[in-house]
């Protein structure tokens, strides 16, 4: 317990101390975010915040945890994805190069045994061995979650706060699986998730509205990568019937926002990767919420999904499936009401006065 507490203090303290230095270096290295028609901020903002989160997390892990193969794979992959994001923050990379780098960071995990070897059929609880499909499924999961967190990084403190809530939820779910179901390997993931949350608490001191620094791709890709890998290391290895769905519920905000963006762009015959200003946070602003209110509303939704994930992990399979149906109906209804799926009508945008 002493080592865990020390790790949390180190993660928060080092991130707090490193963030101002990273902020100064971001201006010096030209890693800044300039406002445009799609973005909410109005001034030039430093990026590279991911470097501070990386420093706090890695230092705490190295100082307080035993370096198992899984942790080594996680740290190596996090290093690669953070470097990739930092270069993009400073120089800009093409989508193809970024995707190749993300795939490479996911491939790094394989020699260390971090893969989705099996999934559990939520209908009958039977184990489905993936065999050779374990590799592409693992790569797809890691790259998808990394990009999903990257896409929601549109308001001060949004991606970092949502990721903090997701990490805390993973720790709670991991604890319940370890305590009540005897799931092996959960303690390692519990501590990793808590350390990540502690580092983000330190970073939010500078990132919550009005932000003094942004995560940048170095941070948003790092957070998505770390959360995806922790899910693979722990939550997906549970043999509970709904274990395959629990990480998806925990990461519901970034995954659903990305999914709805793809549907929206496909329906309008637009390129899937073409940015727009109709993500959940944009639509909440268009409804008249302030910057801070929009972020807090999404925090609340993330916390609700996190609580639902904990419940899913504890109830019987039929009850879990019923809860999932209710969540799906409520999510689709709410998303359609705020315009995340089809976008808000143009006249509504004009009335709201928002772009």
Between 282 and 224, the more confident residue is 224
Distance from C-alpha of 263 to C-alpha of 266, rounded to nearest angstrom: 5
Query: Residue 290: is its pLDDT beyond 80?
Result: yes
DSSP conformation class of 38 = T
pLDDT value of position 216: 92
Return the pLDDT at 190: 93
Q: What is the mean pLDDT of residues 266-290?
A: 77
pLDDT interval class at 352 (50, 70, 90): very low
- pLDDT score recorded for residue 185: 67
pLDDT higher than 70, residue 110:
yes
Structural domain count of the chain: 1
The answer on pLDDT for 337 being more than 60 is yes
Query: Is the pLDDT higher at 39 or at 15?
Result: 15
Kindly tell me if the per-residue pLDDT of 349 is higher than 60: no
The mean-pLDDT minimum among 44-53, 214-223, 309-318 falls in: 309-318
Task: Classify burial at 129, counting beta carbons within 10 Å of its beta carbon; exposed 0-12, middle 13-18, buried 19 or more.
Answer: exposed
Please list the residues that pair with 32 across neighbouring strands. Answer: 46
The CA distances from residue 105 to 140, 166, 195, in Å, are 12, 21, 21
Average pLDDT over residues 135-164: 93
Give the pLDDT of residue 355.
30
User: Quick one: pLDDT at residue 350?
Assistant: 37
- The pLDDT of residue 95 is 87
The whole-angstrom separation of Cα 201 and Cα 235 is 23
Comparing 262 with 43, the larger pLDDT belongs to 262
Question: 189 with 201: CB under 8 angstroms?
Answer: no
Average pLDDT over residues 201-227: 95
Q: Quick check: 257 pLDDT over 80? A: yes
Summarised one tens digit per residue, pLDDT across range 30-82 is: 899 876 655 555 668 899 999 999 999 999 999 999 999 999 999 999 999 99
Q: From CA 149, how far away is CA 221, in angstroms rounded? A: 7
pLDDT digits over 81-105, tens only? 999 999 999 998 888 999 999 999 9
Cβ-based neighbours of 60, under 8 Å, separated by 6 or more: 6, 7, 8, 10, 11, 14, 195, 198, 199
Tell me the average pLDDT across 157-185: 86
92-106, 248-262, 263-277, 326-340: which is most confident: 92-106
Confidence of residue 283 (pLDDT cuts 50, 70, 90): confident
The string of DSSP codes covering 164-188 is HHHHHHHHHHHHHHHHHH--TTHHH
pLDDT at 168 over 70: yes
**Structural domain containing residue 134:** 2-352
Q: Which tokens is 54 given?
A: 């990386």
C-alpha of 323 from chain center: 23
């Amino acid at each position: 317990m002493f080592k865990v507490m020390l790790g949390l203090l180190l993660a928060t303290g080092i991130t707090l101390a490193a963030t101002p230095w990273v902020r100064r270096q971001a201006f010096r290295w030209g890693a800044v975010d300039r406002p445009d028609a799609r973005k909410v901020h109005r001034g030039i903002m430093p990026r590279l915040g991911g470097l501070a989160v990386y420093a706090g997390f890695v230092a705490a892990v190295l100082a307080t945890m035993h370096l198992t193969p899984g942790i080594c794979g996680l740290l190596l992959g996090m290093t690669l994805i953070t470097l990739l994001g930092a270069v993009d923050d400073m120089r800009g990379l093409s989508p193809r190069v970024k995707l190749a780098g993300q795939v490479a960071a996911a491939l790094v995990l394989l020699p260390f045994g971090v893969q989705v070897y099996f999934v559990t059929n939520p209908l009958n609880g039977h184990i489905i061995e993936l065999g050779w499909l374990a590799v592409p499924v693992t790569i797809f999961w890691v790259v998808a979650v990394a990009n999903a967190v990257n896409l929601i990084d549109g308001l001060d403190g949004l991606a970092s706060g949502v990721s903090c809530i997701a990490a805390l939820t993973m720790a709670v779910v991991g604890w319940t699986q370890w305590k009540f179901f005897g799931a092996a390997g959960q303690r390692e993931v519990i501590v990793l998730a808590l350390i990540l949350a502690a580092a983000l608490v330190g970073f939010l001191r500078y990132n919550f509205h009005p932000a003094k620094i942004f995560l940048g791709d170095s941070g948003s890709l790092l957070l998505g990568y770390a959360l995806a890998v922790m899910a693979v290391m722990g939550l997906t290895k549970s043999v509970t019937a709904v274990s395959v769905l629990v990480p998806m519920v925990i990461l519901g905000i970034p995954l659903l926002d990305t999914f709805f963006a793809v549907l929206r762009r496909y329906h309008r015959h637009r390129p899937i990767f073409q940015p727009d200003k109709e993500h959940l946070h944009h639509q909440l602003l268009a409804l008249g919420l302030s910057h801070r209110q929009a972020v807090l509303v999404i925090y609340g939704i993330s916390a609700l999904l996190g609580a639902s994930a904990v419940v899913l992990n504890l109830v019987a399979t039929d009850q879990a499936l019923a809860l999932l149906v209710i969540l799906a109906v409520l999510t689709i209804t709410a998303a359609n009401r705020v315009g995340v799926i089809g976008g808000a009508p143009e006249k509504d945008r004009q009335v709201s006065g928002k772009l």
